[in-house]
Amino acid sequence: MERTPITLNTVIRVSFFFTLIFAGIAFFSLLLGPASLEPVKTAKALLFGWYEGYEKLAPEERTILFSIRLSRIIFAGLVGASLSTAGVVFQALLRNPLAEPYILGVSGGAAVGAILSIILGLSVISLATPLLAISGAALTVFLVFAIGKSKGRTDSTTLLLAGVIVNAFFSAVIMFLLSLSKSSDLHSIAFWLMGDLGAANKMKIALISSFSFFGTGLVYTYARSLNLIVSGEETALQLGIDVERTKTILIIAASAITGFAVAFSGIIGFVGLIIPHVMRMLFGPDHRLLIPAAFFCGASFLVAADTVARTVLPSVELPVGVITALCGAPYFIFLLKRRSL
């Protein structure tokens, strides 16, 4: 069946639709937790609670709403949007619907940096762990490009294999560092490796939002070029696209988006696998629509997953990576089976 041509109005309508879904999931998430909030009072507080003197909520309820849950939901949305956007890019450039943001080993490098920060006792310093994680992610991208480039060209298969090799190496380094860790550090390391959104604050939200929106905006400016590259690099070259330059920019942008998300939230798998693939099935392969759809849907998905993680068991908060893995692993098997048919 022939799909309707993508127009700006289509992109705006789809983006608005998923924004409404995100707002609904976010509001529902605000109400849930060990201390439940009343829907009407919460809605009024969100609309009018920013004004000084509005005291319809008790002080402890205001703290829960504005200082804890709202910050965490915004943070989760930004991380989910970042990982989904990066997943769109990697699946397109590697021409593999099973690819996700960690396929180039970015998460492994970030994990090494974060674990080193915890082991060395630097995690008590503000932003020390994210900065070391970002440095590890940047080192990974450099290594992957150094290994994957041949005669000035970035072959998708070679780049994929380079990412697997680098990721395997960093996995070994992580195991080595874990064996050297003190028992008091293992809990922090384990939570970081499984994804933890509980440390959200205004500074982290400001930093990740700037990189998320800038990176996504940069990727979106190459949406048409990405469509042409996916359809065939020779065709793209004939139509005036600098394929190598475009691929390099997009891979670096997607890796940076992933690196910053991982640096602040820990490793959260499968978001970049599930969401881009589902959006592609719903809306087709045109990246002018696929990128914004994945951005907003990824935000909604991770907020929903984090809500389940912190409410499914009484008095116990699960790492959000556990929930995304429980969703993603069966879906990954489904995709494998579907491709083999």
Go through the domains of the chain in sequence order and give each one's CATH number.
8-340 (1.10.3470.10)
Residue type, 129: T
> What kind and span of H or E run contains 153?
strand 153-154
Q: Cβ distance 104 to 90 under 8 Å?
A: yes
Per-residue pLDDT of the chain (341 residues), as tens digits, is 345 567 888 899 999 999 999 999 999 999 988 888 888 888 888 887 666 555 577 878 888 888 889 999 999 999 999 999 999 998 888 887 777 777 778 888 888 888 888 888 887 777 787 888 888 888 888 888 888 777 667 777 788 888 888 888 988 998 898 888 887 778 778 777 877 787 788 888 988 898 899 999 999 999 999 999 888 888 888 888 888 889 889 988 888 888 888 888 888 888 988 899 899 988 988 999 999 999 999 999 999 999 999 998 877 888 898 899 888 878 777 776 776 55
Name 106's Cβ contacts closer than 8 Å, sequence gap at least 6.
137, 140, 141, 255, 258, 259, 262
Could you give the count of Cα atoms lying within 13 Å of 20 in the half-sphere of its Cβ?
A: 5
Q: Cβ distance 133 to 110 under 8 Å?
A: yes
The whole-angstrom separation of Cα 77 and Cα 329 is: 21
